[in-house]
Amino acid sequence: MFQGFQRIKGAIDQRIAEEQAKQRSSASPSRTPSAPRRSSSRNLSPSKRPGKAKDADNGSKAAPTGKGPDPSTFETDFVIGEDDEPSRAATPRPKEKTDAAAATSPEAKEKPEDGEAAMEDEKNTPPLEIPPEVQTRLRKLDKLEPKYSELLRSYRIAHARVTAIEAFEASLRENTPLTSISEPAAFVEYLGQLNVKSDMLMEELKRVSKERDELNKKFDESERSAKESQEELRKLQEQAKATNDPPKDDSTTQTDPGIDTAIKETETTDDSEEFFSYDNELPRLQSQLQENEEKAAKLEEENKSLKSELSVAQESAESFMKNLETATNDLHSLKDTHAKSLKQAEAQHEQHDSTVADFKNKLQTAERELAQSKEKHSQHDKTIAELKEKVESTSRELEELHATRGEELVENHGQETLRDQVEKLESDLTELRETQAKSVKRNDTLNNLVNSLREQLKTAEAKRDTTLTELERTKKELDTAMNAKETVKIDAPTEPPTSTVKPNETASKKKNRKKKKGGKAADASTEATPSEAGSVNGLLSPRDAEFSPSQLQADLDEVADKESSIESLKGRLETLRHDLLDFGQEHTEAKDKIKELQAEKAALQERMTALEKEIAELHRKTLFAEFEELKAKADTLQIDLSVAEQLAASRFKDLTDMRDILQKAQPELLDELSTKTGELRRLEIYKSQVSEKEGDIRNLNEKTNQRKDVIEHRDRLAKDLTKAQDDLKASRNAARDLEQEVSKLTREAESLRDEIQLNMQDQTQEMGTQMKEELADAHRLLSERSREAETMRRLLADAQGRAEARVREMQERLDVAVEERDRAEEQANTFSRRRARELEDLKQNARDAERALAPETEAAEANEEVAELRLTTSQLRDTLDESERQARDLDKEKADLRRAFDETQTRLEKLQKSSKTMADELKQIQAAKGRALESNVHSSRSSTESSRSRIASPTPKGRAPSGQPGDASGIDYVYLKNVLLQFLEQRDKKYQQQLIPVLGMLLHFDKKDEQKWMAAISAK
């Protein structure tokens, strides 16, 4: 392309030089000075002209991003006229032939070959008029000139903005985990994290400074106390020396005031007028000396112990930091176990509450029925006793009547009434016996119910107590774990102030400790960072040395790699900080949960006490109501007794009246009968005596029969009583046997439970090993997925870097192409204007010239020039189109890579969710299996086979033989649905092949079926 431009330019310059030489030779003297002036301006190469365009470009690039550059700076670049201003961009120099022609043009007059050159120029002169195609192209160029300036201005503004944004993003990548400006939320989050970090650091600084001040205060106080003790020691030693070295003569006069006071005290205490002696004071002073020395030794020991404690605290701080990590891990495990135990305890507590409520309701109903049956039984007993009393009273009345009366009427009437009463009493007795038997049966059933309910209540209360003890134990474990963590947190910052002398070392230690959680890879990366930074500094430090471009490129690549590794390490550090914040939040949440659980426990205890109070009140109310009912029944019975007594008294009065009447009527009848014949009287007397005797005999027979019946009834009752007693004894023996059997069964159940627990432990151990293996596989698969994701991210980053590099290259190419296009347009404009001028000159020369070139050759040359111009413009357009197409392809590749990355991330999230759901479903299935094993003690164990699933989640159902009927009903259709959905959602064949064993476990596939499924998936 450039060669074509140079060729065109060389041809044009040659033609211009020839025309100028021809004009000099043929023109008038007035026009001769203008030609060399014009030729000098035209023949100047663009490289030698002053560069206004470059200055303007630099100014436009240096303009601010927000405001556009001043249009006046670009007007000089785009003014296209007849002036001799240089072009905006440097054009390649013309060939040496044109320069030689331009240099030899002033000397053309002296050479004899000018005539021949003029003849050749006249032959090669262009046509007098411009062709229409060139005119249309020139018009189009004139139209494009104003638009092109605006486009160039906007392009330069956009380019300046892009360069500023790239510099800002590079600083963001170097100093923050962000990569571009298009993430304002992440930038705000990063700033918030920095604020939180600064707040945490300030709080830690305040706490450490407070502890340091307290330790300093304690140290100052201990030093003061030591100084005071030393001063006291010194004083005491001086006093002891003074007391040990006194003069012999004036012992009483030359003593210290302290000794005088001691003498006075001894004189007042002893109340004697004895003289003072040093022998008494010496042991006291020596004892004080010893005490003070002991105090000083103790203080020195305390100082030593404090120093040793400080050193121990320094040493133990590191161990506490390690213990803190273990405590956090233990706390997480305890949280999980505590949450599980809480859920189980809540479920058990609810079940126990419901069972206790049911048992209480049943107890209340049973107690009510018992009370009612007891009342009915007592009523029946009372009625039986009353009936017995009535029978006895009637029998006594009959005897009295038989003894007192001798008449038939009274006897017949009394016999009928007595028979009616006896029949009524017998019917009442039979009814009472039936009701008594029913009540006895009901009482037995109610007693059995009450006993069973009490046993169930005891078992429920025992279960509740066990759950409460488990809850308390778990809470105590949580409290101990929290206390251990708090002690670790409290003891960890108690480092000496000397540790602040080397902050870099402690910071590095803390970083290393924090990075121990991440693994050895993070440690290796953190240890490698200083060496990498050193190597970067070593690479960048030599400025004076001269490097080859390949070495510089290699060094730059190494620096870029190390910067990417530093950014990844920074990201890991931030993730670790996030994890620490999350751990702290989880600790606070655990504390809040513990407080809530304690509050719930207190509320439950209050509810229990309230329920117990309500039960006591209800019991008291029921007893009070029963007492009132019994009182009312007793009142009614008393009223009935009084009415019965009144009836008996009225009947007795009637009988006494009848006796009086009979006694009065008997003498009259005897007098009348005595008047009659004695024979009839005797016969009547005999007849009456016979009838009386027969009646007495009948009455006696009836009485004997009644007595026999009563005796039989009494014997029957006695037999019934003995039978009932025997039944009671038998039932008691049976109850004892049943209790023994129950105890045996409980022992057997306990032994079976132990066996089941052992079996369950074996099974759980087997399942645990299987789960561990599968979890290890799952972790391995997850690590592989994470590695794949990291590789994808790295590939994405590399692709993005490559794409950005390619975009930059394409932008540079675009800039070069645009500059070339500008140059070509400017050159075309200058060439067209020069051409127009030359055409005008040629027209003027053609009028004077004698010959003209043939129009065909001129047209061919013009067509060739137009074709060359068209080719150059088409080539420029093609290069522009190619650059735009490459930019679009790069954008498409970027979008495709981002989509692939998003798809991999969504797949990862789906896989993680599926693994979590499968693990939860496995836990639920294991719990259901445990319950089924506890309920079905005597059932045979089903063999469980586990297989490796897609992401380390074990299959919830064991594979059993097809003959077992229990497996068909035990399929978890929800789990099967989820697995089938996941199988259908997965597009990757590998994941589908990994899901086939899970489907095989659920649907009982054979090896042939699995092979068929594998073949079907691989055939897709």
- 830-866 pLDDT, tens digit each: 877 887 887 777 777 777 766 656 666 666 777 787 7
- b/e 868-890 (16+ beta carbons within 10 angstroms → b): ebeebeeebeebeeebeebbeeb
As a whole number of angstroms, the distance between CA 400 and CA 394 comes to: 10
The tens digit of pLDDT for each residue in 759-783 reads: 777 777 777 787 778 777 877 787 7
| Closest C-alpha among 559, 475, 565 to residue 529 | 565
Q: What is the pTM of this model?
A: 0.20
Q: What is the pLDDT at residue 984?
A: 73
Model confidence over 334-389: pLDDT tens digits?
777 777 777 777 777 777 777 777 777 777 777 787 777 778 777 777 777 777 77
Six token digits for residue 25: 């030779």
Residue 255's pLDDT band, with cuts at 50, 70 and 90, is very low
Count of residues making up the chain:
1020
How many angstroms separate the CA atoms of 416 and 423, rounded?
10
Whole-number Å distance between alpha carbons of 878 and 872: 10
103-112, 182-191, 628-637: which range is least confident on average?
103-112
pLDDT above 70 as % of the chain: 67
Q: Are 591 and 482 in contact (CB under 8 A)?
A: yes
Residues 6+ apart with CB under 8 A from 710: 391
Q: Is the pLDDT of residue 786 over 80?
A: no
The residues near 316 (Cβ < 8 Å, ≥ 6 apart) are: 491
**∠ Cα 105 111 117 (to 5°):** 65
pLDDT at 545 over 50: no
pLDDT digits (tens, 9 = 90+) for 419-478: 676 677 677 777 777 777 776 777 677 677 767 767 777 776 777 777 777 777 766 776
- Predicted confidence (pLDDT) at residue 828 exceeds the cutoff of 70: yes
Q: What is the 3-state secondary structure (H, E, C) of 534-551?
A: HHHHHHHCCCCCCCCHHH
Average pLDDT over residues 593-618: 82
pLDDT higher than 60, residue 23: yes
**CB contact at 8 A, 325 and 516:** yes
* CA-closest candidate to residue 24, choices 129, 100, 121, 126: 121
Tens of pLDDT, residue by residue over 649-705, are: 887 888 888 778 877 777 776 676 667 766 766 777 777 778 778 888 888 888 888
CA within 13 Å, CB half, 196: 14
* Cα dihedral 221→223→224→229 (10° resolution): 120
Contact by Cβ (8 Å): 818, 824 = no
What confidence category does residue 157 fall into, taking pLDDT thresholds of 50, 70 and 90?
A: very high
Phi first, then psi, for residue 938 (nearest 5°) are: -90, 0
CA pseudo-torsion sign 610, 616, 620, 625:
positive
330, 481 contact by CB (below 8 A): yes
> Taking the domain 283-406+416-491, which CATH number applies?
1.10.287.2610
Query: Tokens 């956090």 appear where?
Result: 328
CB 318 within 8 A of CB 496: no
Q: Are 320 and 491 a contacting pair, CB within 8 Å?
A: yes
Sequence-separated contacts (24+) of 919-925 with Cβ below 8 Å = 919/953, 921/953, 921/956, 921/972, 921/974, 921/975, 921/978, 922/771, 922/953, 922/954, 922/955, 922/956, 924/956, 925/956, 925/957, 925/972, 925/975
pLDDT at 555 over 60: yes
Using alpha carbons only, give the angle 223, 225, 229 rounded to the nearest 5 degrees: 115
Residue holding tokens 């109610």? Answer: 446
pLDDT digits (tens, 9 = 90+) for 920-976: 777 777 777 666 655 554 444 444 344 444 433 444 333 333 333 334 344 567 777
50 pLDDT higher than 50: no
DSSP 688-708: HHHHHHHHHHHHHHHHHHHHH
Q: Where are the beta strands (DSSP E) in 696-779?
A: none
Q: Which residue has the tokens 């108690």?
A: 494
What would the DSSP string read from start to end of 88-151? SSPPPPPPHHHHHHHHHGGGGGTSTTHHHHHHHHHHTPPPSS--HHHHHHHHHHHHHHHHHHHH
Spell out the residues 6+ positions from residue 131 whose beta carbon is closer than 8 angstroms to its own: 859, 862, 866
DSSP element (H, E) containing 715? helix 678-848
pLDDT digits (tens, 9 = 90+) for 282-326: 777 778 788 878 878 888 887 777 777 777 766 766 776 677 777
Q: What pLDDT sits at residue 616?
A: 83
**610's tokens:** 């309230």
